[in-house]
Structure 1
């Protein structure tokens, strides 16, 4: 009886690990899409609303889901509390602090870091160009993430169950 309960727990744990990995593959394209929407909102606020950057960040974050909204809020909060920090430093610190909570990879982080070094230091038209460049890079990464999702999501679900079943067979 004890072996049966142990086998069921191992199967359950392996299955959940597989499903958790599959969920990360499913979350990455969704989060990249949300990040693109955030940059589109920033572009609109800066380009058409003539909104200052801290206020544009606050307005954009109000309409976005997590984890993207918390990233933008964090940048705005750091700017408000900035003790001599530049926008780039506030942006990089916020991205670094919030990145582990996302399913995105280093390529998306690199695009955001590059964008942060261009925002806030140039005129409105140049900032819009940099936002569009970052959105283009993120769209390419979104396509890659969708391909990875299609390729690996089912594999991880199956792999979790199969490895757990192998462990149960080896133990019993």
Structure 2
């Protein structure tokens, strides 16, 4: 009786692990979609409203969710007060500080950091084109993630349950 209950608990724990890993994949994709939305809004502020970067960060950041809100508002504050050496340095520091725990894939995080080194030193049209290029890269990464996502979610769920069953058999 006790062994049976223990076996069921091990199987449920394995299934729970699989569900947790699947949820992490879904959260990563959700964060990427939200970041893409923010970059689109920054692009629109620059292109159509003719805002300078600190003002664009302020407008978009005031309506954003955490931690993106703090990231953009901190960028605005530091750029306005001219704290730091350059936009690229401030961008990298604030991005690593606020967005490290969002679950965005490492390659996209590095690409986002590189984006900061390409903004601010060029005219409005070039900034818009730079943001367009980043958004294209992001779209490609999200497309790749979308095709892998279903397979990986199913894989994690199956591995969790079958691993739990295997472990329960070994323990019995």
TM-score, normalization by structure 1 = 0.86
Q: Say if 1:78 and 1:4 are closer, same or farther in 2 by CA, change over 3 A.
A: farther
Contact 2:29–2:142, Cα closer than 8 Å, also in 1: yes
Residue range with higher mean Cα deviation, 8-17 or 126-135? 8-17
The equivalent residue for 2:134 is 134
Contact 1:119–1:127, Cα closer than 8 Å, also in 2: yes
The equivalent residue for 1:165 is 165
1:14 deviates by 1.6
Does 1:10 find its partner at 2:6? Answer: no
Contact 1:67–1:101, Cα closer than 8 Å, also in 2: no
Give ranges in structure 1 of 5+ residues lacking alignment: none
CA distance in structure 2 between the partners assigned to 1:12 and 1:78 by the alignment? 49
CA distance in structure 2 between the partners assigned to 1:142 and 1:67 by the alignment? 20
Give ranges in structure 2 of 5+ residues lacking alignment: none
Q: Say if 1:118 and 1:64 are closer, same or farther in 2 by CA, change over 3 A.
A: same
Q: Provide the alpha-carbon RMSD of the alignment.
A: 2.2
The equivalent residue for 2:110 is 110
Residue range with higher mean Cα deviation, 7-16 or 30-39? 7-16
Deviations 1:81-139 (A, max 9, x none): 65333221121122223444223212211221221101122221111111111001000
Displaced runs of 4 or more, over 6 A: none
Aligned length: 172
Does 1:95 find its partner at 2:95? Answer: yes
TM-score, normalization by structure 2 = 0.86
CA distance in structure 1 between the partners assigned to 2:69 and 2:154 by the alignment? 29
Contact 2:78–2:84, Cα closer than 8 Å, also in 1: no
